[in-house]
């Protein structure tokens, strides 16, 4: 399928590794102009064709400046992709979570996405519309013990997507999100304390490229009729019974 993304301008957050870096490479391969906002410097080997901005996605002035510089460089903004993600404490019971541990993933995952959409929308008004794609998590819709801050933040991403879709629809701006399960990324490996991420021994964590195609589809004119949607990319995980409901393995 031709996604017709060649020549479009894309701004994404958290493009130095994981899903964000894979997304940036995919848009470049489609012929798009790519601008990245990340708290880290340009990674070694990253194309100099990518416009790189080092800064904090939770700082409004930084996000506003990044959008302005992107528009000045490429002449407009067509797509914004929010890939910024923070997990917060994992495996901690609610009674041990400090307020700052709760607020950090909310600031990055939720406020960061909101600021990107807010300032991207202003730029998209001038070009007649655009597409915003947010990266949430399967934890936007289900939970597990010890993941309260992460689930709260990502549940917010899901409703933020729907609310923005309603607010921005009249301006020709679509807002959708993808909600992947645990992916094999540096952040997931760190959270799990593993050399290779895996959320289920029978279903190893997939690579970020498995999510990239959905993000590009939502960003493209091919998904023009889709707005306010959330695509759960759990590779069949929610279709399986919960562990407590699974039938016991027959004895040989």
Catalytic (active-site) positions: 150
Residue with tokens 């959330």: 230
Q: Rg (Cα) of the chain, in Å, rounded?
A: 18
Please count the CA atoms within 13 angstroms of the CA of 54 that sit on its side-chain side: 4
CA distance 84 to 224: 25
Instruction: Kindly state the tokens that stand for 33.
Output: 């102009």
137, 224, 107, 207 alpha-carbon torsion, rounded to 10°: 40
Report whether 66 contacts 9 (CB < 8 A).
no
Report whether 92 contacts 146 (CB < 8 A).
yes
């Amino acid at each position: 399928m031709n996604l017709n993304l060649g020549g479009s301008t894309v701004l994404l957050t958290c493009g130095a590794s994981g899903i964000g870096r894979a997304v940036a490479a995919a848009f470049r391969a489609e012929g798009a102009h790519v601008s990245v906002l990340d708290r880290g410097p340009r990674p070694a080997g990253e194309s100099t064709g990518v416009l790189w901005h080092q800064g904090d996605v939770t700082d409004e002035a930084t996000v506003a400046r990044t959008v302005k510089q992107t528009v000045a460089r490429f002449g407009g903004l067509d797509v914004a992709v929010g890939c910024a993600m923070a997990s917060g404490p994992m495996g901690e019971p609610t009674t041990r979570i400090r307020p700052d541990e709760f607020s950090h993933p909310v600031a990055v995952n939720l406020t960061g996405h909101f600021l990107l959409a807010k300032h991207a929308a202003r730029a998209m008004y001038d070009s007649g519309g655009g597409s915003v794609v947010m990266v949430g998590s399967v934890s936007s819709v289900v939970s597990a013990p010890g993941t309260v801050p992460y689930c709260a933040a990502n549940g917010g991403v899901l409703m933020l997507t729907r609310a923005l879709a309603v607010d921005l629809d009249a301006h020709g701006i679509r807002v959708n999100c993808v909600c992947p399960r645990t992916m094999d990324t540096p952040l997931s490996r760190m959270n799990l304390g593993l050399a290779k991420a895996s959320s289920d021994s029978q279903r190893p964590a997939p690579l970020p490229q498995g999510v990239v195609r959905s993000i590009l589809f939502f960003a493209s004119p091919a998904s023009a009729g889709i707005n306010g949607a959330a695509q759960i990319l759990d590779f069949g995980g929610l279709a399986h019974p919960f562990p407590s409901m699974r039938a016991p393995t027959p004895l040989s």
